[in-house]
Amino acid sequence: MPNRTVTRIALAALVAFGAALPAAAQQKLQIAGNFASEHPSSVAVDQVFKKELARLTGNQLQADVFPAMQLGGAKENVDAVRSGTLAITWVGAAFLSRIAPELEAVSLPFVFANRESAFRVIDGPVGAAIDRKLQDKGFISLGWMELGMRHVTNSKTPIRGMADLKGMKIRLQPNETHLSTFRALGANPVAMDVKELYSALEQRVVDGQENPYTVIAASRFGEVQKHVSNSGHFFDFIAVVASKKAFEQLKPEHQKAVREAMTATIGYQRKLAADQEAGKLAELKAKMTYTEITPEAREEMRKASLPVIEDVKKRAGADLVNQVLAEAAKR
């Protein structure tokens, strides 16, 4: 880890706990993410959260925003928040799933038809149950942004269905549901932090990866990948979590301000992500070969991944998974 990163995280420890500050002094919270600066989540945190937090607290509480892995990769940010040396992070939900396996219940393959059904689940009782589990592990959940529907890219061949995935080395997030799904589809999945991904693709350490169109575009993966397909195998969330240690040291009115500011930020981010999706796909089509996966081919993939859902019930709890399936099936 670069020395400047260590220094920033050390400073974050002081900031997160707000030690020895007079009541009227200006206090800063550091919030870090691994998404590129132009990604909708980073834009929302910088343009909305920072301004709203200052406004709601009369500038007594301000946010220092560090996107694009400036304070380390996703795992490092999660670990720093859990230990209390970083106040807040926004991170792909998969990076919390090994701490709170219940998150795998909302990572199921080919379950969410669209963003509306996904948000109906995460904004309801299922999301509240996951929030409680996260609190037990040292996090305060501040809400859920859109990461989006995930799609496959690779450097070898157009993906039209399962046969094209056979043996392909695909980078995935460290989420057992995601990894098991791609094993069921015949691929060779590899868990890897996003900070290593661009170079791994460039050097052909892995053949491909899967992400929403907004991430593929913002991370410039089209520079090192030839093919993109509309696989839509998972809908994914960005978890916004605060350190329980740091959050509970804030004054009650500042805790309320953090929650209100992030609620506004999440609303803005979800709209921005939805508005940008088509445009980002058009950008990718200009650089890469785009291949449609037919409904029939996607249905074959869905059926092949059904055993994964039964395995998730063992890790995340059958009741929670069944609740997700029931909610997602509503029209």
Q: Which domains does the chain have, with CATH numbers?
A: 3-102+115-147+237-275 (3.40.190.170), 151-234+281-324 (3.40.190.170)
Q: What is the pLDDT of residue 106?
A: 98
Is residue 30 very low, low, confident or very high in pLDDT (cuts 50, 70, 90)? very high
pLDDT in tens, 177-226: 999 999 999 999 999 999 999 999 999 999 999 999 999 999 999 999 99
Give the C-alpha distances (Å, rounded to integers) separating 268 from 35, 116, 147, 194, 306: 16, 15, 13, 24, 34
Mean pLDDT of 5-28: 53
Closest CA to 108 of 292, 249, 235, 296: 235
Q: What is the pLDDT of residue 3?
A: 44
Task: Inform me whether the pLDDT recorded for 331 exceeds 70.
Answer: yes
Residue 2 — very low, low, confident or very high, per pLDDT cuts 50/70/90? very low
pLDDT for 80: 98
More confident residue, 148 or 21: 148
Work out the pLDDT band at 268, boundaries 50, 70, 90: very high
Contact 46, 67 (CB under 8 A): yes
| Residue 25 confidence (pLDDT) | 73
Residue 117 pLDDT grade (very low, low, confident, very high; cuts 50, 70, 90): very high
Q: Exposure of 188 by Cβ count < 10 A (0-12 exposed, 13-18 middle, 19+ buried)?
A: middle
Q: For 44-85, how does the pLDDT look when each residue is reduced to its tens digit (9 = 90+)?
A: 999 999 999 999 999 999 999 999 999 999 999 999 999 999
Q: What is the pLDDT of residue 24?
A: 55
Average pLDDT of the residues in 174-178? 96
Closest CA to 235 of 267, 216, 210: 210
CB 96 within 8 A of CB 103: yes
> Distance between terminal CA atoms of the chain?
47
CA 262 to chain centre: 16
Q: How confident is the model at residue 26 (pLDDT cuts 50, 70, 90)?
A: confident
Beta strand 208-211 with 151-154 is: antiparallel
How far apart are the C-alpha atoms of 318 and 244, rounded to whole Å?
28
Burial-class residue 65 by CB neighbours within 10 Å (0-12, 13-18, 19+).
buried
208-211, strands of its sheet edge to edge? 188-191, 169-172, 208-211, 151-154, 227-229, 289-291
Q: In terms of C-beta distances under 8 Å and separation of at least 24 residues, what long-range contacts does 308-314 make, across chains too?
A: 308/108, 308/109, 308/177, 308/180, 308/181, 308/184, 309/108, 309/109, 309/111, 311/177, 311/180, 312/104, 312/105, 312/107, 312/108, 312/177
Q: Which residues contact 55 (CB under 8 A, 6 or more apart)?
A: none
What CA dihedral angle connects 64, 68, 74 and 78, to 10 degrees?
A: 0
For residue 10, is pLDDT > 80?
Answer: no
- Cα separation of 129 and 106, whole Å? 12
pLDDT at 16: 62
Q: Distance (Å, rounded) from C-alpha 271 to C-alpha 277?
A: 10
Residue 174 pLDDT grade (very low, low, confident, very high; cuts 50, 70, 90): very high
